[in-house]
Amino acid sequence: MTTPSEPTAPEPTAGVFCGREHQLPVRIYYEDTDFTGIVYHANYLRYLERGRSDFFRAVGISHSELAQQDTGFAIIRMELDFKRAARIDDALVVRTLYERVEGVRLYVHQKITRGDEVLLDAHAVAVCISLSGRPRRPTPEMLAKLAPWLRPEGET
Catalytic residues: 34
Rounded distance between C-alpha atoms, residue 106 and residue 52, angstroms = 11
CB of 156 to its own copies, least distance (A): 20
Rounded distance between C-alpha atoms, residue 117 and residue 19, angstroms = 20
**Cβ–Cβ under 8 Å, residues 120 and 135:** no
| 89 forms part of the interface with its own copies (CB under 8 A) | yes
**Cβ–Cβ under 8 Å, residues 127 and 105:** yes
CB of 75 to its own copies, least distance (A): 5
**Continuous segment of H or E residues that includes residue 123:** strand 117-129
Question: Which of 1, 36, 140, 152 forms a contact with its own copies (CB under 8 A)?
Answer: 36
Question: Which of 20, 50, 109, 145 forms a contact with its own copies (CB under 8 A)?
Answer: 50
CB of 100 to its own copies, least distance (A): 19
Cα 124–chain centre separation: 11
Of residues 109 and 153, the one with the C-beta less far from its own copies: 109
Rounded distance between C-alpha atoms, residue 29 and residue 25, angstroms = 13
| Binding-site ranges for its own copies (CB under 8 A) | 7, 9-16, 18, 23-27, 29-31, 33-38, 40-43, 45-46, 49-50, 53-54, 57, 62-64, 67, 72, 74-83, 85, 87-89, 91, 93, 113, 131, 133
